[in-house]
Each structure stands twice: as structure tokens, then as C-alpha cells.
Structure 1
């Protein structure tokens, strides 16, 4: 076209030069068309828009440059277009756009069409080319060639606070950043049709600022599931298109949040005809405010021959979740309580275990048989550190007298090769009495604790007078507070204190001690055994007053 071909057409308001072979536009080409409002240059062969090409078109509102071969926009290409509202640059060869390209249009431009160009970004740090287009309401970026945009940089839509419609169709974007749409607070229409091939999940918060969105097209994006975290803020959404996705289940909270929804398209989605979707079947029948597209044509891929709207829900009436919750909660409580019971009732549990073992081995009957089953007068429970006292003092005074008693000792009377627990149980239950020789070493012994536990069980639970405590050394009450069984025995039964060397008359005190001990051992219980008690009451009565300060004896 000649540079002066349109000279003098100063009253022209609409000019169509589309579908021609125009290749170049000059500064003089449109200088006389200052009343022009619509200029259509679509489907020509224009490759470059030079500076000041439209500088006199002050009244131009619509400029259509689509379908050309434009690969470059000079910095002042759109200078003078002070009233331009619609700019169409679709199906050109633009590889990149910059904020300087639209600087002259920032006050008026409302529609910008950049579909099917070559725009592509490889970095997340690209600055927004739309930062000055604060009046823009409609932006089309779909179908970038040949592979799509593939990436939306951070803050790519920064500045588009007035945008109402955004088209991103056929761009194969790998993943949407959670801040991708944060600046589009007034967006009402968004189409992502086929823009995320291969995507399986929209990240929570992707649409968090789109509170005015009314229509969302997310067809053919490979989405496998929908969550309330993604759609939670779309309270104004009316149309939701999800055709050709991989959605099997829909979260109930999603549709509850979409209170204004009127149109839902789930065609070609492999919805599962199972219990997780039972609520959705009921929802589609009961909710009369939402149109479900081709509801009665939705099939069940997992149940061939069944339809989604009427698949069998009988199996879902069992509230398996409730049963699982109750059983799991009970198991957790039991597992939590068992350690506490173990700590609090350690010896009781241990004793019960040992008694059960004896009972299971048919020893329980032997332990509780007739009275003549008692083999010993007393079982001596002591720590090995106190063995010398037992051998030097206890045995000569109890087994070496005329009224000798038959005693059971670990090292002498336990059956070799037999389990030690079985030996202890038989010794306690096979003796009329259990004599505990208590010292600091005794308190620290686990086996000694077991022996006094077994004897105290017979004392308190079977109500048999079988337990005698002998203290070889003074032990503070505060130290005994941890041994509640022993303190309970001291409050209810006989305990004797061995006279120490600091006693004024050790010989007489010890004689009194042995007399009292023989008397305690000679008292009867359920076992019938030979008991020979000498008449020593008078002598003990006379000696008691003399040795009261040296021997601590308590009968309760």
C-alpha cells in the first residue's frame, strides 16, 4: 500500500483492510484518519509495527492486527492511541512482551488478545508485562505455539487489578504457583481448559483471592481430586466445568463451600460408584439448585453396566468409620493404660503371674492342700549379704535348741535345677511362717521383694498369720515409705529389732530377742505341724522390764 493511499479521508470512522497482502505500515499511512474509530488489519503479512505508525489516530477504539506475522513491536508502536480500548494481536509471531510495549495504552486499554503467539517463559523471575494496564478487563493468552507457555512466572499478572476475564486455554502449564492468581481480585471468568496436561492436583490456595470468580473452566487438566483447600474461597462461583479429568471422588466439603453454584459439568470423569461417593449421589438427587450436566448419562467405570445416579448404596449403610474409630480408640486407651497399670501394680501383677504359673503346673492344689502338707516351720527370707548373721546367729538359736524348728533356707533347701520362682513359691506356701530378715541390702533386692510380696498376700488376702519381720539395723521410716507392703505389715503384725552392740546388756537383750522370736514362730496357723513350746513366759516377763530400752518390740 502506498504511503499516501489514504490521504484526505479525515471523516472516515471505520476502515477494513483485512485479508490482504499488506506487509508494511508507515508513519504517513494513517496520518489523515484522525476520526477513525475502528481499524481492521487482520490476516495480512505485517511483520513489524514501527514507531508512531498510528500517532494521529487519537479517536481509535479498536485495532485488529490478528493473523499477521508480527514478531516485533517497537517501543513507540502505539503512541498516539489515547482512546484505544481493544487491541487484537492474536495469531502472530510475538515471542515476548514487555511493559514498554503497552505503556502508551495504560489509561484506556480494556481488551488485549495475545492468543496463538510464541510467548514462552523459562524463568520464574520474569517481571509482569501488564503492570501498567490497570484498566484491562479481558486478557487472552491461550494456545501459545508450539508447546504452550508451560510456565507462569511469579507475579506474572501483577497490576491487573481490574481484570475480569482470563483465557489460558491449551498452554500445558506444568504447575500453577500458589500465588499465580493473587493479583486478580476482581476476576469473574477463568478458563484453564487443557492448560495443565499431566497435572494431578491443584495446590491449596491456588484460587484463594478469586472471591468474585463466577465461572471456572478446568476441563482436561488431568486433575485426580478436588479439595476444599483449593475451592474454599470461591463463594461466588456459579459455573464449574470439570469435563475430561481423572476425578474419582469429590470431597463433600468442596460443594458445601460453593454455595452459589448453579452449573456443574462432570462428564467423562471416572467417578467411582462406591461408598465415598454415596453422598454425591444423594446430593445430585436432592439439590435442585444445581444443574448436573447429563447426570443420567454418567456411568460407573468400576461397575460396568451401572449408572452413577442409581448405583447400590446398601453396603454403605454400615458406618464402618464409626466402628473403626471405636475399636481404634479402645485399643489406644488399653495400650495407654497398660503401662500405667504396670507401674502402679507391678508387684501385684508379677505375683499373680507367678501364682498362675504354679497353678497351671498343678502346684496350686498342692499349696492349698491339707494342713499336714507344711514341710517347714519357717521360710527364712534374707539377702546374701546377711547370710553370715543367719548362719552364725539364727540357725544355732532356732534349730540347735531342744525345741528346734525346721527352717527353709535358699542355699540349703531349694531344689537344684528347678526354676527359682517355683522354689520361692513352694517355700512360702510349704512353711507355716515366713521370716524376713530386713536390712538395707534386703530392701534393694528384687527377689527379696518377691518373697515378702508372696507372704504378705497370704497375710492380707488369705488372712493367715504367716509373716514375721526382723530388722537387723535401724531403718528410718522415711526410707520405708516406698515399701507400702512392709509398712502395712509393721502396722498390723509382729516385728522385732535385733539388739545392736550399743545396748547396755547385749547378752540379755539378745536372749529376750530369741525368746520372742521362738514364741512368734511357735504360734499356730492353718498348717498342723509339731509345735513344742517351753514355758518361758515368767522369765520373759521378768526380763521385759529390764530390757525395754534396748529392744524395740511391737505387738499389734
Structure 2
């Protein structure tokens, strides 16, 4: 373990260039999550050098987008290190210059988009290596002409888009594409072509789609067979193109021809052309009145038996009589009357002879109302669209004449009045769009006939209340959109009947609480519930969960509650949502998240808490503990101060983590390492300190081969914007640190090994040395040593409190009384008051010539007695002074004395005294002998002994 730590901390991460870094982050690009190193986006970067933007991308890249940058030049071999590239976008970059070998080595490239730049010329060999290219877009550049042979290598090209340039020479274009045997689509709209004249070349037979709209064509000028294989031809908005330009031109293969806003007279054109009349788009052909329409219809009837789709949009038609379309052949598909000036439809009486039409579009007209129509004669009509009109009201039985409509679009009008029976009779209706109107009320019989309705869109109206029984008949409805209204509440049975509802949108309303009817009505059906941008607030954390029975709910949006956010997020709010996959809580001002708030969300895959909290956020440990299936977590701008394993450690499936714009100054490595599936980490706009506490984080971001740290090499140090986080100097953090750690670890191990031995062998000696040092430090030691030769006491009596009676009754009278002149030191009598007890003991031992230890079983268990005998034995053995006397009050076995090795050592070298017990044959005599021996021992080496010897002549 120490070796691994040493290796890790010894790494020096001072690298001069990003190319040398082995980590999984990129200078100017972001890898798309879950793309496995194949999809990269390099958007809105300030760098003007192509190499600097993409040089660190891996060779596994397949899809690359480089857009909205300040690039103006692509140098040679820019993409040579990306040989697997298949899709390349270079749009919106202000490109002006592209070198000849810019795309060298891109042999697998299939799609190239260079639109919205400033390219004015192309090198003839630019596309030399792009043999597999199938799509090429040069839209919105400044090309005036094409070099000869520019597209010759692109043998697999199928789509070529060159709209919005300044091309004038169609012959050169035709020459360039004539070799493209797989080209299917060519778009030349918004150029300056004046004709389709060409030399002895022809378009590829594979070319079936040709757009030449919005040019300056005044003639076609091409050979009769030039367009013979084209199936879709758009020549619209060439205002000078006349009818006779098509004289003799083969248009027999045309499936769709658009001539909108040209000078072509449609009737005359159909007479001179071999185009199939039913394949012509009649929009924008100036068919303003009945006479022109009737002429067209009569001509069409002669040429075709029936029409599938008829587009009459943009013809300025003001009125359609009952006989206008009766001269036309039978129309079986779509009739488009959009972008005209129709003010009234008169119950669609103009269709009384066209009863086979399936779809009618009357968008972008001037309709103001839809009147009652009680005759059911248009039974084949299935789709009707009245979008983008000025409809104010829908009267009763407005669609009674079209009973089989499946799709009805009345959106984007000004409908303020919808009669209770306005939609009466539409029993087959499946999709109804009433969004973006001015509706205020819905009634219990508004949708009474719509039991087959599946999609109902009422978004962006002015509905404030959902009354009882409003949706009672909509038992098959799967999608209900009530977003953008002013709904404040639902009446008790306002949602009854919605037995199959799966998607329910209530965003942008004025709901102040989550209606309890939700979990009564939608127990087993609801999968999507959108409640964002309402006025929902909770005033207590103790509520019952309004989602408890929504067992299939998978998508829940609660973000952006007005005006202050949710503020309080009840801990029980999400109880029962075991199937929830996505949860949105952004832009709320929640002041606290309990640790069990998300406990029931065991299936959650996506959670966003972006900007959801107030000020500094302290996420509770375990707040995400049950979110083991979470793959994407957005916690941006939450004021998070700590990123710890206790908070994020259980997110074992997390792939994407967005932490940017938070307040932490450091990130714990163990927390990141506890996320085994993490591949995408965004820590932009976090003031990570460039100090030693982040040295491991720097090392991890640089050398982790698995996790992409977004724009790592652009993260700045807070103290100096010129210093980057990835290369701030960490050498000071690693100087000999590994060696120090190794030595300190070894020292600690040695200490823990030796300490028990020292404790057993040298405990009292060490303790004694400590006390001696204390005495020395307090300037007592010198004083005690000086007084050794002139001791204050003859003996210091060391005894246990339980033996005090023997000392007072026996020892004291026999040594200080009965004619004896010894002076004894006793704890209770001679210790200095207020002085530390240890200092008193040391002083007593060194102020006395002898130390008499009164040994008993209680004595041996006393710490203070042990200290006293140890001090005395130290003087005995280490200073070689005969100072210790042992008096045993009790018989002690060898086993009882075995653990007191210091005492046993004294007993082996000195004779000790045993107090005679009551079991002696003559106790009095034995005790008298005991006192004589003790007095003699105390007297040994004393002043009295010296005086006696002098008196005897020694």
C-alpha cells in the first residue's frame, strides 16, 4: 500500500502541450455522451487555428461538427489523423480559404457540409481523396464559378447543394456534374443563372431532383432531352421565365413540377408540354378567379381522368362558387387552398362535386368564422386544416357536414367562442388542435361525441377552470395538452373519463397545488406529466404524496414554479414513483433537500436540479443513495460547496455529470472514483483552487483514460487567469513526499511494535525519569542532590492507606518513640500542602536516608506506592545507595510476586523483614526481634551509627 501511494504521489504533472497529455479531455471539442469516441462537437470556440481545435481528437472519430467559430482557413492535412471520419460539418465558420490537400486521407467521408461561409473559390483537387462522399453542401457562400473537374473524384456523390451562391455559368455546372453517375439531387436555388444552356454534355441519368428556384432564368435554352430523366423540377420564383421556354422540352418523367411566381401561363403551358398535368403544382400561378380556374379544370379533365393532389395555394383566390371545381377531374387526395384570400367557406359547398377529397387545407386565409352546416355530404373528408386564419367563432354543428374527419386543425386563430355543439357529430375524430386561440371556457358537452379522440391540444388559450364532466366522453384520449392557459384548479370530477390518458401537459398555468384527482383518475395510465411554470408551493414538509398511485409515470416536470419556486420540497412528495425515468426541478428556490427526498425513485435515469436551490447548498449525505439507475445528473448553479463520496457515491450507473457554476474549491478524488460508469464531467465555471489540495484532482483529470472533462485545458486558476488548472505547478506538493511517507510509515510500524515491549520492561523507569525531569525542570533536582548528605528524615514510610492503622499503631511508636530518635516522613503529616503529589513523593524519597516500603496486597495494587518503591529502587540499583527497606505485613507467594519484577530484584539482593503474624509460637518475642532488626537497618549508614562507632573507638 505504501509503495502504491509512493508511486501515485511521485507523479509530476508538468506538461507543456496538450498533445502530450494522455487524458480523456479535449482543448476545444466535446465528445457526445455515449458515443464511445465517435461523435465530437467543436462549437463557438475562440481559436482561429484549425489544428489547435482538432489536433487532440482521437482517430476513432466518425462524426465531427466544427461550427460557429472564427476559422477562416483550413490548411493542408488538417484531418489526416482522423481517417475514420464519415460526417464532417464546417458550416458557419467564416471560411475563406481551403488548401488543396485540406481533406487528404478522408477516404471514408460520406457527408461534408461547408454551408454559411465566405468561400469564393475552390481548388480543383480539393476533393481528391473523398471517393466515398455522398452528400456535399456549399450553401450560402460566394462561389461564382466552379473549377473544371472539381467533382470528378466524387463518384459516389448522391446529393449536391450549391444554393445561395453567385453562380452564373450553368454549362460549367453541368460539365462538373456530368460524371457523377450516382447523383440524385442537385440544388442550385438562389443563384444568378439566366438559362440552362450547356455544351455537348448531359445531366447524369441518375439525377431525378433538380432545384433551380429563385434565379434569373429568362429561358431554358437546353436541349429537348436535357431534363428527360428529372422527376422533381423546381423552377419557382424565376419571374422572367416564359411559357414558351418549355416548347419541345421533354418533361415526361416529371412527377412534381413547381412553376410558382414565374411568367408561365399554366393553361398554355399544359397545351404545349408533355408533362403529366396531375404532376404540376398550381400554386402561385395567378389563378385569381373562377374563369381561370374553370379553364384549368376543363383542360385537366381532358388530359387526366383523376387527380391525387391539387395545390392551388398562393393564387389570391377570393371566392369559390359552387361550380368552380365541378369541371375538374375527380380529386382523391389533397386539395390545398392555403395562402389565398378566402373569407368564407359556405359549408364547403364548392366541394359538392368533389366528394372524394380526403384532405383539405385552407391555411393562411382570411376566414373569420365557421358557420353551422347541417347537411352531411362530405363523408370521405378525413383531414381539415384551418390554421393561420382569423377565425373568431365556431358555431353549432360547424362540422356536421364532414362527419368522418380524423384530424381537425383550428390552431393559430383567434377563436374566442366555441359553441357547445360546435364540434358535434365528429365521432371519428382522433386529433383535434385548438391551440393558440382565445378560448376561455370548455363545457361538459363540448367533446361529448369524441370518444375516439386520441390527441387534444388546447395549449395557449385563456382557460381558467376545468368544469365537471368536461372530458367525460374522452375515454380513448392519450394526449391532453392544456399548457399555457390560466387554469387555477379542476373541479372534483373535471378529469373524469380520461381512462387512457398517457401524456398530460399542464405547464404555464396558475395551479397553486397538485390536484389530488390526478392519482385517482390516472393510476395505471399516465406516463408524462408536465407541471412546470405554475404557482405550486408547499408550506409544510408533512404532506401526502399526490403521485402515490401513478405507478407508470416516467416523466415529471416541476421546474420553474412562479414567482419564487417551490421553496419547500416535501420529503414525501415523490413517494410511490417507482417507475419515474426523468425528473425536472430546475429554476426553483428550494432551500433544503432531505436525505430521503428521492428514495422511491429507484428507476430514475435523468435528474436535473439546475439552478434549483437558494445560495449555498449543503447536499445531505445519502440524498442520492437509491438512484443507482441514474445515468445523467445536472446540478449546475446550485451553490454546492462540497463534492463528497457520501453524497454522490451511490450513483454507480452515472454516465454524465454536469457540475458547472458551483462554489466548491476542490473535488474529492475518492468521490469521482466511486462513479464507475462516469464518462462525461462538466466542471466549467468552478473556482477550483490551484493549490496542493487539488494536485491529485489535476493528476486525475489529466491521466484518467475514461472520463471526459469538458474543456479541461480552458479551466483557469482563480488567482491568475493566465495560469490553467491542468498545468499549475505541483512540484512543491510532491518533493520527497513519497519518501517521507515511507519513512514515517516505517517509524509508526516500529513504534507500535516496540512500545508494548518498552511498556512492560521500562514503564516505571520511564515514568520515574519523567518525574525526575519534572523535578529538575522546576529547579528541585539540584536542591535535592545538595541535601543528600544532610537528609531531613531518617526514613520515608511508603504504605497503602488500608495499612495506615498498622503504621500509626506499630511502626510510628517503635521508631520515633520508646527511646528511639528516628525522624520519619509520613504522607499525611509531612507532605507540603498545595504542592503536586508527585513533587512531594520525589522530595520525600530524596530527603530521607531510607525508604521503608510497608508491603501488602493493597500496596502492590496502588500506583502511588509503585511509584515510591520504583524511585527508591532506582537509588538502590542505579545510584548504588542503600536506601530501600522492605517490610512485608503478609505472606506473599512466588506467584503473587512474579509480575513485580522490580520488587523481586530487590528481594534477591537485600534481606527483607517479615512482620510476625498471630500464628507464631511467641508473637511478643518475635515482634521485639522484628523492631530491633528494623531499627538496626534504619540506623545503618546514619549519623547515629557513625557517632556510636566513634565512641567505641572505631
User: How many Å separate the matches in 2 of 1:163 and 1:447?
Assistant: 71
Match of 2:574 in 1: 157
Counterpart pick for 2:891 among 477, 489, 496: 477
Counterpart pick for 1:214 among 631, 639, 642: 631
Match of 2:464 in 1: 47
Match of 2:428 in 1: 11
Counterpart pick for 2:453 among 28, 36, 59: 36
In structure 2, relative to structure 1, the CA distance for the partners of 1:147 and 1:520 (3 Å cut) is closer
Q: 1:275-424 maps to which residues of 2 (within 5 A)?
A: 275-318=692-735, 319=737, 322=741, 344-345=764-765, 348-349=768-769, 361=782, 389=814
Deviation at 1:158, TM superposition (A): 2.0
In structure 2, relative to structure 1, the CA distance for the partners of 1:489 and 1:154 (3 Å cut) is closer
SS of residue in 2 equivalent to 1:280 = helix
8 Å contact from structure 1 (residues 118, 144) kept in 2: yes
Deviation at 1:137, TM superposition (A): 1.2
User: How many Å separate the matches in 2 of 1:166 and 1:313?
Assistant: 41
8 Å contact from structure 1 (residues 133, 160) kept in 2: yes
Which structure is higher in helix share? 1
1:174-220 residue CA offsets vs partner (Å, 9 max, x unmatched): 11122211111111111111111224211011111111111111111
1:442-462 residue CA offsets vs partner (Å, 9 max, x unmatched): x99x99999987876565446
In structure 2, relative to structure 1, the CA distance for the partners of 1:486 and 1:303 (3 Å cut) is same
8 Å contact from structure 1 (residues 347, 453) kept in 2: no
Deviation at 1:86, TM superposition (A): 1.4
Residue 638 of structure 2 is aligned to residue 224 of structure 1: no
Deviation at 1:248, TM superposition (A): 1.1
User: How many Å separate the matches in 2 of 1:200 and 1:53?
Assistant: 44
Match of 1:141 in 2: 558
1:52-81 residue CA offsets vs partner (Å, 9 max, x unmatched): 222233332222111111112122223233
User: How many Å separate the matches in 1 of 2:843 and 2:916?
Assistant: 34
SS of residue in 1 equivalent to 2:580 = coil
Deviates more, 1:21-30 or 1:481-490: 481-490
Deviation at 1:38, TM superposition (A): 2.0
User: How many Å separate the matches in 2 of 1:522 and 1:314?
Assistant: 71
SS of residue in 2 equivalent to 1:99 = coil
Deviation at 1:14, TM superposition (A): 2.2
8 Å contact from structure 1 (residues 468, 494) kept in 2: no
Counterpart pick for 1:187 among 604, 609, 612: 604
User: How many Å separate the matches in 2 of 1:534 and 1:72?
Assistant: 124
User: How many Å separate the matches in 2 of 1:294 and 1:462?
Assistant: 75
SS of residue in 2 equivalent to 1:249 = coil
SS of residue in 1 equivalent to 2:732 = helix
Match of 1:111 in 2: 528
In structure 2, relative to structure 1, the CA distance for the partners of 1:338 and 1:40 (3 Å cut) is same
SS of residue in 2 equivalent to 1:282 = helix
Deviation at 1:259, TM superposition (A): 1.1
User: How many Å separate the matches in 1 of 2:764 and 2:742?
Assistant: 31
In structure 2, relative to structure 1, the CA distance for the partners of 1:305 and 1:33 (3 Å cut) is same
Q: 1:54-65 maps to which residues of 2 (within 5 A)?
A: 54-65=471-482
1:75-109 residue CA offsets vs partner (Å, 9 max, x unmatched): 22232333222111111111112332453333322
User: How many Å separate the matches in 2 of 1:5 and 1:470?
Assistant: 120
Match of 1:267 in 2: 684
In structure 2, relative to structure 1, the CA distance for the partners of 1:78 and 1:327 (3 Å cut) is same
Deviates more, 1:11-20 or 1:483-492: 483-492
SS of residue in 2 equivalent to 1:161 = coil
Aligned residue pairs total 498
8 Å contact from structure 2 (residues 523, 549) kept in 1: yes
User: How many Å separate the matches in 2 of 1:468 and 1:167?
Assistant: 85
In structure 2, relative to structure 1, the CA distance for the partners of 1:144 and 1:361 (3 Å cut) is closer
SS of residue in 1 equivalent to 2:717 = coil
Deviation at 1:326, TM superposition (A): 6.5
1:465-504 residue CA offsets vs partner (Å, 9 max, x unmatched): x569698xx943349988987776565445689999x999
User: How many Å separate the matches in 1 of 2:844 and 2:605?
Assistant: 87
8 Å contact from structure 1 (residues 408, 427) kept in 2: no
Residue 502 of structure 2 is aligned to residue 88 of structure 1: no
SS of residue in 2 equivalent to 1:226 = coil
Deviation at 1:122, TM superposition (A): 0.5
1:249-285 residue CA offsets vs partner (Å, 9 max, x unmatched): 1111211111111211111111111222112111111
User: How many Å separate the matches in 1 of 2:853 and 2:447?
Assistant: 121
SS of residue in 1 equivalent to 2:500 = coil
8 Å contact from structure 1 (residues 159, 183) kept in 2: yes
Deviation at 1:119, TM superposition (A): 0.9
Match of 1:122 in 2: 539
Q: Which blocks of at least 5 consecutive residues in structure 1 are unaligned?
A: 368-373, 396-406, 412-418, 429-433, 536-556
User: How many Å separate the matches in 1 of 2:655 and 2:678?
Assistant: 4
In structure 2, relative to structure 1, the CA distance for the partners of 1:349 and 1:144 (3 Å cut) is same
Match of 1:27 in 2: 444
Q: CA RMSD in A?
A: 5.2
Deviation at 1:240, TM superposition (A): 0.7
In structure 2, relative to structure 1, the CA distance for the partners of 1:97 and 1:356 (3 Å cut) is closer
User: How many Å separate the matches in 1 of 2:847 and 2:549?
Assistant: 97
Deviation at 1:150, TM superposition (A): 1.0
In structure 2, relative to structure 1, the CA distance for the partners of 1:352 and 1:32 (3 Å cut) is closer
Q: TM-score, normalised by structure 1?
A: 0.72
8 Å contact from structure 1 (residues 175, 199) kept in 2: no
8 Å contact from structure 1 (residues 342, 349) kept in 2: no
Counterpart pick for 2:496 among 53, 70, 79: 79
In structure 2, relative to structure 1, the CA distance for the partners of 1:162 and 1:531 (3 Å cut) is same
In structure 2, relative to structure 1, the CA distance for the partners of 1:64 and 1:221 (3 Å cut) is same
8 Å contact from structure 1 (residues 468, 495) kept in 2: no
1:294-353 residue CA offsets vs partner (Å, 9 max, x unmatched): 2111111144532111111112115499599869979x9899999999974499548956
Deviates more, 1:229-238 or 1:513-522: 513-522
User: How many Å separate the matches in 1 of 2:642 and 2:558?
Assistant: 26
SS of residue in 1 equivalent to 2:705 = coil
User: How many Å separate the matches in 2 of 1:351 and 1:311?
Assistant: 52
In structure 2, relative to structure 1, the CA distance for the partners of 1:449 and 1:462 (3 Å cut) is same
